Structure 1
């Protein structure tokens, strides 16, 4: 190496999961990994489990390490070994369990790296709806104990940040960086004519995603409207039953998981987002980039923030299917300017958001 050549900064992205690398936090990591300047940073993706197949669309310059572990104990000791082998300058982890493991691993490894822990969802909602009472008690105990030991706490929205800080008693350095949602190349897609009356929901079919509210809203709209649902999950059978009960079989299509949701956003007139809570809401930006009108639950936390309190979409009263339907009608009669939506969405590309991560990395490395 030439004397004047600067060594690149090694950054580990610590992801808890296995199987496919295609949802939520995985997609955020994917876009940041792809967007980072590889002449300055050497990114390594460490996955706790095993992948079913290579990660689609991942930059070939990103090294992937699979720990092939399932138990938290196995993950922990394998991760400590990985840290000692890779010797990173920065480690970034996501969600509660990996964040706690990363804090412990830094202590046990005795390595001097900067640790960034991140949160991608509203903790209070997860505690109330996704975990048992025992699990919730453990999380409530660990977060104020462990999170302040990290060098930085990063959140994907101000709604997430404010909620989490209520649980952390000790001051911790923190900031918000919105999610990277799609690659810059998507903006060069040729525009597609919108199909009047076509509504789309893109979501896992789980209780808190509240897709049934969109189906009920359709029953308040005339027959020129139809609904396409992209995604699958535990609530599918209940949704199929609801569609039949409301007599909407000819107007609702449950398509399951699709590889290219952008093809549907491009054709849809409006994206409906009825989720009860969201840490960010990537789908809002994805659809906006395709010129979709947006109708979202006003009580879901981050979606109101992402839509700038209605500047870039329509907010309805959560739990009220008729309010949702009325806002779908308003989206047609008083639509947001399509080019303004696309311009706003362009702020969330992989490269633009990766530059924000790079500035955070640089500032932490300058700390003594």
Structure 2
């Protein structure tokens, strides 16, 4: 039986959800049935390892004015590689992949993968308005649109008029074995080794969508009642403004911005609570990762995804979006009730087992 050649198109190799998905598919796709090739619209990024044992094609995208050249180059890749199917991940790569197929003589099956609540998330992006205009015009040209949550699917159907028949919901996988192994790695952060006071942890890009100002203000409230510390993993353009806010509300010495960490799990596993304060998500990988690490999770009930993972009060806590009081009260509830917190953590870890890599990859293989 001949193998199906699959082009996996990703905008970049950075440590985000889209790239993590591409990485997992490359690692776990059945090589007896599929021949995967990774196409990266940008160039090689030192912060993300190049997948070993896989063919990788870099198109070296520049700024947004480079769009016509990237579309043309991807169309040439279609013609040269003659793939059976193209799987593109996230809106920019999706739009480029559709345009490239229209331009190319090769007409592979086209599967788009959407990973955010686009009608909200794109409002915060530089090219958001252009993408909002383009999605309802170009996504219907594909064969299948995979969504990482029911909320993302509903958004595309109701806000962008994508036909329901095109939509397939495939949730994010949690690679429990890998996360557990990485969580055991040694490290020496003094707050997590001395255990002088509770440590709250957050992880994600420092961007507006993650609403870190809410987290800092809620954390400041918590500190008035119970001294604790906050570690934030991740980089982004909001870093300087967040440092200024932290200083302005008296959090110097109580919060540590550690930047991007290749292994966030060793920090998560030794913290007391994980908090997600986002305004919008797709289906947050980081919730599944924190659950796998065995710590209780608090998340805003943002569109979309957290309430598709968490049952409030059972395997995590959900609070309203942008509600400083509710978030601080949820943190204090877990810090002050150790038995309740431990029960939430146990149930969360069990919930993370519902997102097995093998089962999720099988769903992708069925679509490809």
TM-score interval for Structure 1 and Structure 2 normalised by the shorter chain: 0.7 to 0.9
Partner Cα separation in structure 2 for residue 102 and residue 281 of structure 1:
25
- 1:175 has 2:182 as partner: no
Instruction: Kindly state the Cα deviation for residue 191 of structure 1 after the two structures are TM-superposed.
Output: 6.8
Contact 1:304/1:315 (<8 A) preserved: yes
- Aligned partner of 1:9 in structure 2 is 4
Query: 2:364 is matched with which residue: 353, 357, 367?
Result: 357
Please list, as runs of the form range in 1=range in 2, the aligned pairs for 1:123-162 lying within 5 A after superposition.
123-131=118-126, 136=129, 138-162=130-154
Structure 1 pair 215–259 and aligned structure 2 pair: CA distance change class (3 A): same
Q: 1:42 aligns with which of 35, 43, 49?
A: 35
Shift of the 261–66 alpha-carbon distance from structure 1 to 2, 3 Å rule, reads: same
Corresponding residue for residue 105 of structure 1: 100
Matched, 1:52 2:45: yes
Question: Which of 211-220 and 258-267 deviates more?
Answer: 211-220
* Equivalences for residues 86-125 of structure 1 within 5 A: 86-125=81-120
Residues 281-315 of structure 1 show CA distances to partners (whole Å, capped at 9, x for unaligned) of 11111111100100111234221222245542101
Q: Does residue 287 of structure 1 match 2:290?
A: yes
Change over 3 Å in CA distance of 1:337–1:275 after alignment to 2: closer
Q: How many matched pairs?
A: 350
Matches within 5 A, 1:205-284: 205-221=206-222, 222-284=225-287
Task: Quickly say closer, same or farther: Cα 1:102–1:263, change in 2 above 3 A.
Answer: same
TM-fit CA distance, 1:32: 1.7
Q: Deviations over 1:75-130 (max 9, x none)?
A: 11111111111111110112223222222222322324211011111111133222
**Unaligned residue ranges in structure 1 (runs of 5+):** 1-5, 362-368
Instruction: After superposition, give the CA deviation of every residue in 1:128-148 in whole Å (9 maximum; x if it has no partner).
Output: 22246xx51x33432222211
SS at match of 2:32: coil
1:32/1:350 contact within 8 Å kept: no
Once the two structures are TM-superposed, the CA of residue 356 in structure 1 deviates from its matched residue by 1.6
Task: Please list the CA deviations of residues 171-227 of structure 1 after superposition, one character each: whole Å capped at 9, or x if unmatched.
Answer: 242111111343633345677999562100112112221112111112222343211
Question: Is contact 1:184–1:350 with CA below 8 Å preserved after alignment?
Answer: no
In 2 relative to 1, CA 57–107 (structure 1 residues): closer, same or farther, beyond 3 Å?
Answer: closer
Between the aligned partners of 1:187 and 1:57, the Cα distance in structure 2 is 22
Which stretch has the larger CA shift, 297-306 or 34-43?
Answer: 297-306
Distance 1:199 1:103, change over 3 A: same
State the distance in 2 between where 1:128 and 1:55 align. Answer: 27
Instruction: Return the offset for 1:162.
Output: 0.6
Please state whether the residue corresponding to 2:269 is helix, strand or coil.
Answer: helix
CA contact (8 A) 2:210 2:279 kept: yes
- Write out aligned runs for 1:19-38 (5 A): 20-38=13-31
Q: State whether residues 176 and 292 of structure 2, in contact with CA within 8 Å, keep that contact through their aligned partners in structure 1.
A: no
User: Which residue in 1 is equivalent to 2:321?
Assistant: 318
Mapped partners of 1:180, 1:254: distance in 2: 27
